[in-house]
Structure 1
Amino acid sequence: MSNFGSGIFYTILGRYGNFLINLGVTAALARLISPAEFGVVALLQIFTGLFQIISNSGLAAAVVQNNSLTDEDTNAIYSFSVLFAGVVSLVIPLVGLGLMLYKQDMVYLKASVFMMATVYLISITSVPNAVLMRQLKFNILAYTQLLNIIVSGIVSVTLAFAGFGVFAILTGTLTATLTDFVLKFFITNIQWAGIHGKSIYKVKSFAINILSADIIKYLTSNIDNFIVSSMFGSVALANYAKSYQLIKYPQFMIGGVFSSVLVPVLRQKQDDLAYIHNFYTKVNEFVAWISFSVSGFMVVHANEIILFVFGRQWGTAVTPFTYLALAVGTQILISLLFPMFEVLGQTKIMVNLNIVNVFLSLSLMIVGLFTHSLSLFALTVAVGIILNYFIDYFVFNIRVLHSGWRKSIVDVKMLIVPIVFSAVLGVILILFKKFVGEYTQSPFLLILSDGILFLIVLLVAMKLFGILNSLFNLLWK
């Protein structure tokens, strides 16, 4: 098995195990904790996620991508990250204080203290995590990921049963991040080495561009939460956040499996554009078949998915989720595209693209805001994701791979077949769902029955079109 194949195997093991455990934990917590309490966490995460990106400062990505770094450089970068993350994390309680005064609720300040510790631990674990990726130790990354979600789930659900509410979620997350840090710190044997300007300088430009791109992407993907919270209220935010959380799962489980492996595996091929183009095109085509089909499945079964995962109290999240699910296919493909900019060191172009994405997404959100409908607002968010992908795809092909317009159009045409197939598959699933619905109204059984049919039809189609053979060659050669 190739390094790429090994990476995919262990990443699937970690991510899918994480998903299944997290699905059970989320379903339990959704029944034990109210939407309003989830809204507290969702609002704070808008800010803490940004501080987490800043405290990481693009260093982890630089450690993975840069082939010239020595162990001494890595230790120096880690030392810098520990100090910088500490300074940034101290700002989080100030945000909690501001929210407490604005919302007139002490819970925001208390929760911010938990999140401060969590963000700091995540940030100082990023460089050890990058070292493991650089060394292609995907097995260790998978096993620690599974251990962390188990620890988090046990703590969160236990405390939720005991009536700790929002602090059950926060304590579970904090415990898991502490476990993750301790394990990876000792496994990598990373050392405190003081801060050396020479080592930081090696990754400065790349890290700054990654940091800028990550901040812009984060603002793009979270400004909708802020708008919903301000204009529609905390309960609407909880419904919207739950909907958005569900459409992120396919990105995490499908796109994330490949994107997390691409940079460490392809970094040795940075100067071979022909190889990079061929490799990316094959991976992108395979993922497109799955991602667009999953998008269709989620649209057809939006009601059943919401009811099964979160319960009937979250029924108002069904329509926003349906609209957001339309963008799942392109959202997954975007997660494959941006790591390719990192592989080839074209992070400046990536930053500029993200600025364009922000303006387009924000413009569409403003249109959605004027509809005074949470569901239509979700639709404008979905349209923004779809348009941004095709803009980014053409820029990558033309500016980075130097493919030209004709070649780029030919490449994008490969998406037509999987898009058409997903539409046909959606019709089949609707008809089969109606048939099964005559015998049961159980959300679980409806999802299960259509899910089995979905897998069979998708695998047969991918085999007939030669997509599975193409992937097999990538995994084993």
Structure 2
Amino acid sequence: MFWTAFLRGSTRVVNIGKTALLARILMPSQFGVFGIVTLALSLLEMLTETGINVFLLQQRDKLEKYVDTAWFISIVRGALISLLLFLFSPFIAGFFRSQDSLSILRLACLVPLFRGFINPSNITFLKQLQFKKEFLYRFTIVFAETLVTLMAVYFYRSPAGLVAGMVASSALEVILSFALFSPRPALAFRLPQVWQIIHQGKWVTGFGILDYIFTTGDNIIVGRLLGEYSLGIYQNAYKLSTQPMGEINDIFYKVTFPLFIKMSGDKSLRRETILRYIAVHILLVVTIAVLVYAFAPVFISLLLGPAWLSAIPVVRILAFLGITRGITLSFNALLMSQGRQRDVAIVSLLNVLGLSFTIVPMVRSFGLSGAAYSAIIGSVFALPVAVHFISISLRSTVNADTT
């Protein structure tokens, strides 16, 4: 837990420092242009998600059995995303009425192309619970991306510098994944394994698509209805308000998911252990959300500067989203470790439905605050069903008192 928390904390400190510096070089509208690029790229990544990493983590077989096929799928997926992003970039720029984003969208085509060549064996540290090595590996990539981004933005004063950082970090991750991890894949595949990975990952794909719609649907509507400037304000408000809780969610998931799989395999997983993890998870999320709400004016003034003060009320509203979403996400590690990807996808679908029915009228009526309220409505809408699913999952877990 320590090294995973240290990784997330160190990454967050680096990213906050990066954002604070960039906010004094780039205008909110330029952040909005970069936001359009990340929305498009993440959409294509979610639509083509295969769930390879989850599949490999869940397998008790050695990685050698699947690594060639997994790498082949990853390369094809990366090339497909790159091609689609290039072909659809004029349409995307037109949809957001942002011609400034066209050239940057085309530059971003390199990101998925490089990512496709990452060695799938890079999940080894997580699979073997070697979190210190995972920290060193991931932090090196984050630090390199930050360094390249800051240098490129400083010299070119353009959001293209942000994409340059993503390209550089993707290339570095390819190199490190082959230098540090084995087995190293060959360009080959077995068709039965392709179908096995895709079939088992279909609910992961569904969850990814639905989670994308829920976490970025409000961004898309804001960008379409209110423009680049408002999108830049909203995206940074969203990050500042929800990412601290998101770090807690990621830490607990990355630790407990492989841990629950291992404990389930040797029949040592107990309800008391699960409930303890969930309780600590929720307590930390609520504590951080209260701090974000209370100190939002200070955070915005110090980190982003006076040009971003209109983000303060949005940050405070979205702090409540961090709580409701954190409660729901605290259940995911157990559900996924038991192969209940379908339940996770259903919860995400309900999130999306709650957001979809409210986002447009709320944005038109209340602007950026309306988008934040709509996101909260979507999260609350799915919460009772998530509680129902975790209750079923807990009942199926071996209890220490009955063994």
Deviation track 1:1-46 (CA, whole Å, cap 9, x = no partner) reads xxxxxxx121122111111111111100010011111101111211
The 3 A distance-change label for structure 1 pair 128 and 37 is farther
Give me the whole-angstrom Cα distance separating, in 2, the residues matched to 1:104 and 1:383.
28
The aligned residue for residue 355 of structure 2 is 361
Partner of 2:332: 338
Taking structure 1 as reference, are residues 387 and 233 closer, same or farther at Cα in structure 2, changes over 3 Å only?
same
Q: Which residue of 1 aligns with 2:145?
A: 152
CA contact (8 A) 1:42 1:238 kept: yes
Contact 1:263 1:339 survives alignment (8 Å) = yes
Partner of 2:205: 211
> What displacement does 1:205 show?
2.5
How far 1:355 sits from its partner (Å)?
1.7
| Contact 1:128–1:184 (CA under 8 A) maintained in structure 2 | yes
| 1:128 partnered with 2:96 | no
Go from structure 1 to structure 2 and tell me whether the alpha carbon gap of 1:95 and 1:18 turns closer, same or farther (over 3 Å shift).
Answer: same
The equivalent of 2:21 in structure 1 is: 28
Distance 1:98 1:292, change over 3 A: same
The answer to whether structure 1 residue 92 and structure 2 residue 85 are counterparts is yes
Q: How big is the shift at 1:201?
A: 3.7
Describe the shift of the 1:101–1:388 C-alpha distance in structure 2 as closer, same or farther (beyond 3 A).
closer
Alpha-carbon distance in 1 for matches of 2:99, 2:227: 18
2:400 aligns with none
Q: Give distance in 1, aligned partners of 2:97 and 2:246.
A: 35
Matching residue of 1:302? 296
SS of alignment partner, residue 192 of structure 1: coil
Q: What is aligned with 1:420? A: none
How many residue pairs end up in the alignment? 396
Q: 2:233 aligns with which of 234, 239, 243?
A: 239
Distance 1:74 1:277, change over 3 A: farther
Report if the CA contact (8 A) 1:367-1:380 is conserved: no
1:373 to 352, 367, 392: 367
Residue 283 of structure 1 and its aligned partner are, at CA, apart by 0.7
Partner of residue 278 from structure 1, selected from 262, 272, 280:
272
1:313 is aligned to 307
Aligned-pair distance for 1:126?
A: 7.3
TM superposition score normalised by structure 1? 0.77
Structure 1 pair 108–370 and aligned structure 2 pair: CA distance change class (3 A): closer
Are the equivalent residues in 1 in contact too, given 2:57–2:127 (CA < 8 A)?
yes
> What whole-Å deviation, never above 9, does each CA across 1:132-170 have from its counterpart, x for those lacking one?
322323222211222122212222222222133111111
* Alpha carbons of structure 1 residues 382 and 63: separation in structure 2 relative to 1, 3 Å: same
Task: Establish whether residue 43 from structure 1 lines up as the match of residue 40 from structure 2.
Answer: no
Task: Give, as a single letter, the amino acid of the residue that structure 2 aligns with 1:184.
Answer: S
Q: Structure 1 residue 162 and structure 2 residue 165: aligned?
A: no
Relative to structure 1, the CA distance from residue 331 to residue 157 in structure 2 (aligned partners, 3 Å threshold; closer, same or farther) is same
Query: Percent of counterpart pairs with the same letter?
Result: 16
Structure 2 distance, partners of 1:284, 1:156, is: 36
Could you tell me whether the CA contact under 8 Å between 1:52 and 1:123 is conserved in 2? no
| Counterpart mapping for 1:38-437 below 5 A | 38-68=31-61, 70-102=63-95, 106-125=99-118, 127-189=120-182, 190-270=184-264, 275-398=269-392, 400-402=393-395
Matched residues in 2 for 1:333 and 1:125: separation? 32
SS in 1 for 2:108: helix
Q: Match of 2:389, SS?
A: helix
Partner-residue secondary structure (3-state), 2:156: coil
User: In the aligned structure 2, how far is the partner of 1:368 from the partner of 1:105?
Assistant: 23
1:162 match: secondary structure: helix
Separation in 2, partners of 1:260, 1:156: 27
C-alpha distance 187-56 of structure 1, shift in aligned 2 (>3 A): farther
**Equivalent position SS for 1:91:** helix
Give the letter aligned to residue 200 of structure 2. F
CA contact (8 A) 2:63 2:121 kept: no
Asked whether the 8 Å contact 1:302–1:321 carries over to 2, the reply is yes
Q: Secondary structure at the match of 1:401?
A: helix
Q: Residue 58 of structure 2 aligns to which amino acid in structure 1?
A: Q
Q: Call closer, same or farther: CA 1:256–1:304 in 2, change over 3 Å.
A: same
Structure 2 letter corresponding to 1:247: S
**1:258-307, Cα deviation, whole Å (9 max, x unpaired):** 10122222213346888253322111111222111111111111111111
Q: Which residue type is aligned with residue 239 of structure 2?
A: Q
**Distance change >3 Å, CA 364–CA 271, structure 1 → 2:** farther
**Conserved 8 A contact 2:320-2:376:** yes
SS of corresponding position for 2:118: helix
Letter in 1 for 2:272: N
Amino acid corresponding to residue 43 of structure 1 in structure 2: I
**Computing the radius of gyration over CA atoms, which structure comes out larger, 1 or 2?**
1
Is 16-25 or 251-260 further displaced after alignment? 251-260
